[in-house]
Amino acid sequence: MAHPAFPSDLVQAQRDWNRTYAQLAEGVPHCTTLRCRLLRLSVRLLWHPFWETERGRSPAARVELRRQARGLERNLDVPARDRDRPAGDSRRVRDAIR
């Protein structure tokens, strides 16, 4: 199956949802605010018009959205100079330990 091209607002909402969920899991203060934000983001994700299109109808599309959003998060956490290196690159691992 070809991976659908997701609208940028949908990908951003999924990334925001992931970050908010992670903050809740860490037990940060203001958890009521975070729970409300997570609920709003969940509604935005669930009712996005993309899911009504042919490309968005399969359950695999939702899985792919989550996978792509997580991939973007990981890619943004890695310095630009290291993005093209394999994960096991010793220089990158050494720099991460420092």
Region 39-66: mean pLDDT is 96
- Whether 39 has a pLDDT exceeding 70, the answer reads yes
Q: What percent of the chain has pLDDT over 70?
A: 72
Crossing angle (nearest 10°) for helices 8-26 and 59-77: 70
Give the residue, 81 or 68, on which the prediction is more confident: 68
**Torsion angles phi and psi, residue 68, rounded to 5:** -65, -40
4-8, 55-59, 90-94: range with lowest mean pLDDT = 90-94
